[in-house]
Amino acid sequence: MKISKRVQAMDASGIRKVFALAKELKDPIDLSIGQPDFMVPKNIKDSACHAIQTDYNRYSLTQGIDELRDEVVSKLKNKNKISACRKNILITSAVSGGLSVILPCILDHGDEVVIFDPHFVGYKQLVLLYGGVPINVNKRFDFSIDFNALEQVITQKTRAIVFNTPENPTGHVSDHEEIRMLAEFARKYDLYVISDEIYEDFVYDGEHISIGSLYEKTITVGGFSKSHAMTGWRVGYLCAPDDLVNEMVKVQQYTFVCAPAPFQYAAIDALHTDMSDFVLQYKKKRTTIYDGLKDYYEMMQSGGAFYFFIKYPYDPEKFIARCMENNLLVIPGNVFSAHNTHFRISFATTDEKLHKAITILQHIAKEV
């Protein structure tokens, strides 16, 4: 059986492997899950049910329904300080679907895309799928951008930089100065910035800043999976220059066709649903984890999302094995990085499980 070289170059998701493993364990303390533990709010579920019952079940326009695109324009203006109109917006099958229509539009075979290390697992694999070359750039010890390292990898084949804030897996939130410097850097080399802002609502100190408010060649990608727990509904959006959106529409026509139609209508309600109480709960969970582990591990405070990226206290394989023996699931750092120096935990779970996990991790850390 012949398999294409570009697909053979891809790795299966290490996160999905842990998901599968979780099903084999009896009631594991699961800190691997990258999705909220709260449910989709009732008003949004009611909106989806209403759309289904009133027969909004057919294909929508590939671009997405006009009502949702207009609401996204308003949201971007008021919340992200990004000026856009309907022709700049494409409703996508969540962020992964957005990346899957962006990359084939900006990449020819052999073109390079800069990806900061550590990074979300999908970035590298999707660049490979679409014939590009992922170029890793190590971040600094505090997970901020190392602009000297970034400068060294730029070539005539560089087309884009993938940027994520708040960041998975580190929880790093880029401040205004870091984003301003990245915008100036991208402008200097005339590069696209693909800005993944799926965790924008989960910022615990300071504020979320969109690079699209500073740089015109930004492709802003967002959605509802994390903020509204709509992970299985597969609805997101992107904002980009209109000539580029026109090309992305062609790609989406022959791949995803359109985002799920009834859930597009529900997403309108999502944009008007206050989720601040859930974010406050996650801020408290963050504090619980940090206070419980900071004296046992080398770790940075998480500024956003719902992750910590923590340095191993000793040999990674031994550490992960000890976690497993204690029915605790975490994600090894080499899932997100070329270096296996850290592990990721998600605090998107119950307080009871967080306290159990802290006790186990404290005990394991002492086993040096």
Distance CA 342, CA 299 (A): 9
Q: Does some domain include residue 46?
A: no
Per-residue pLDDT, 1: 74
Are 265 and 281 in a shared domain? no
Amino acid of residue 186:
A
Report the sign of the C-alpha dihedral through residues 283, 289, 294, 297, in that order.
negative
Are 249 and 299 in a shared domain? no
- DSSP annotation of 40 reads P
Q: Does some domain include residue 48?
A: no
- DSSP annotation of 365 reads H
Decide which of 241, 270, 299 is a domain's last residue: 270
Q: In the structure encoding, which two tokens stand for residue 273, read together? A: 């649903």
> Read out DSSP for 96-163?
HHHHHHHHHHH--TT-EEEEEES--HHHHHHHHHTT-EEEEEEPPTTS---HHHHHHH--TTEEEEEE
Are 122 and 187 in a shared domain? yes
Query: Could you give the 3-state DSSP secondary structure of residue 307?
Result: strand
> Read out DSSP for 209-233?
--GGGT-TTEEEEEESTTTSS-TTT
Are 265 and 282 in a shared domain? no
Q: Does some domain include residue 207?
A: yes
Are 220 and 317 in a shared domain? no
Q: Does some domain include residue 47?
A: no
Other residues' Cβ atoms within 10 Å of the Cβ of residue 148: 8
252 phi, psi to nearest 5 deg: -65, -35
Decide which of 222, 241, 270 is a domain's last residue: 270
Angstrom CA distances, 271 to 68, 212, 266, 285, stand at: 9, 19, 9, 24
Are 160 and 289 in a shared domain? no
Cis peptide before 166 (omega within 30 of 0): yes
Are 252 and 289 in a shared domain? no
Q: CATH number of the domain at 87, please.
A: 3.40.640.10
Distance CA 172, CA 165 (A): 7
Are 227 and 315 in a shared domain? no
Do the Cβ atoms of 144 and 178 come closer than 8 Å? yes
Start-to-end C-alpha separation, the chain: 47
Q: Does some domain include residue 50?
A: no
* Residue range of the domain that includes 167: 56-270
Do the Cβ atoms of 202 and 226 come closer than 8 Å? yes
Q: Does some domain include residue 45?
A: no
Decide which of 270, 288, 323 is a domain's last residue: 270
Which of these, 84, 32, 45, 50, lies nearest to 244 by C-alpha position?
84
Q: In the structure encoding, which two tokens stand for residue 83, read together? A: 């000026």
Q: Does some domain include residue 198?
A: yes
Distance CA 273, CA 109 (A): 42
Are 180 and 203 in a shared domain? yes
Distance CA 289, CA 302 (A): 10
Burial label, 346 (beta-carbon count in 10 A; 0-12, 13-18, 19+): buried
Distance CA 51, CA 263 (A): 8
Angstrom CA distances, 109 to 105, 112, 251, 288, stand at: 11, 9, 17, 47
Can you give the pLDDT of all 368 residues of the chain as single tens digits? 778 877 877 776 555 556 566 666 678 899 998 899 999 999 999 999 999 999 999 999 999 999 999 999 999 999 999 999 999 999 999 999 999 999 999 999 999 999 999 999 999 999 999 999 999 999 999 999 999 999 999 999 999 999 999 999 999 999 999 999 999 999 999 999 999 999 999 999 999 999 999 999 999 999 999 999 999 999 999 999 999 999 999 999 999 999 999 999 999 999 999 999 999 999 999 999 999 999 999 999 999 999 999 999 999 999 999 999 999 999 999 999 999 999 999 999 999 999 999 999 999 998 86
Number of domains, the chain: 2
Distance CA 75, CA 90 (A): 14
Are 70 and 214 in a shared domain? yes
List, in sequence order, the alpha helices (H) in the chain.
5-8, 14-24, 42-53, 66-75, 94-106, 121-129, 147-153, 176-189, 242-253, 261-270, 276-293, 316-325, 351-365
Distance CA 96, CA 196 (A): 10
Distance CA 289, CA 284 (A): 9
- DSSP annotation of 366 reads T
| Residue corresponding to tokens 């579920």 | 45
